[in-house]
Amino acid sequence: MTYATLRQALAFAARGWPVLPCQPGQKSPATRHGVCDATTDPGQITAWFGRRPDWNLAIATGAPGPDVLDVDQHGEAGNGYAAFRQLRAAGLLDGARAWVRTPSGGLHAYFTGTDQRNGHLPAHHLDFRSRGGYVLTPPSQVDGNPYELVKTLHGRGALDWDAVTRHLHLQREPPSRHRQPGRYDLSGLARWVASQAEGNRNAGLFWAANRAIEADPAADLSPLAAAASQAEGNRNAGLFWAANRAIEADPAADLSPLAAAARQAGLGEREITRTLDSARKGGRTRTPAPDHQAEAGEV
């Protein structure tokens, strides 16, 4: 990193957000007292990052700094995007002012700071950082992977962590006996997928799988996978490309329909997980469609 870190630190401090340095490439504080050393003093900030521009930059959360919802990405162990989508649908995230992608492929959502306590919902892969916490912020990086601003939003509200907890406890998956799988006729979608040119079938499969899941969350996607019948060597590239397209449109996109379609098409679980994780981490990079030529802020 260069003096961009110092400039960003001073910009946060001018906003009233206390900052602190962390060890290069790590999340651990570089000062003796950790987050208690966070400050908005320009002189101290310049001394820190002017002398060590390689240090990571962290913001102390909780008023006067921001509150941050941390959507974790744990690979095969799961991620917090399903819970994040539920909260968005319920309007509980309308106050967000920015989204930042983390090095693991997770997401930080920034809100107006409060004096709430920090929280952790391990079953939903969510963490909440408020009073006494801190988060790394751009241009910091971990293991060579950066924190990156995804989107600046218009919200300037707070996140009610108690409301988040209550909502997610009430939105647990309904018992499967209430579902009636297989009621949606996929024959039309399957014929459409089969009619797509070889290089376009991955994108067609993803689109069709999403339409089927919208109509029936328990839909059997095997007819679509059979219709795709693409060459085995192209399946992984197609999965990665379609996942990137979904993430470009929505960083919290639900990739489960795509994973299900890939599973039905013959990809293994490890390969699916590895490919989707790679797309989450690298979704900021536009990837050309398989068998096609490449298409010609502030927190």
Q: What is the pLDDT of residues 132-157, one digit of tens each?
A: 999 999 999 999 999 999 999 989 99
- Mean pLDDT computed over 274-278: 77
In percent, how much of the chain has pLDDT > 70? 71
Residue 115: its pLDDT value, please?
Answer: 97
Is the pLDDT at 13 greater than 80, yes or no? Answer: yes
The answer to whether 232 and 225 are in contact (CB under 8 A) is no
- Mean pLDDT computed over 182-189: 58
Residue 197: its pLDDT value, please?
Answer: 62
Confidence of residue 65 (pLDDT cuts 50, 70, 90): very high
Question: Rounded to an integer, what distance in angstroms lies between the CA atom of residue 280 and that of residue 75?
Answer: 10
Rg (alpha carbons) of the chain, rounded to whole number: 22
If you search the block for the tokens 């006067």, which residue do you land on? Answer: 64
Higher local confidence (pLDDT), 280 or 177: 280
The answer to whether 280 and 247 are in contact (CB under 8 A) is yes
Supply 72's token pair: 């974790």
Range name among 157-161, 190-194, 215-219 with the lowest pLDDT average: 215-219
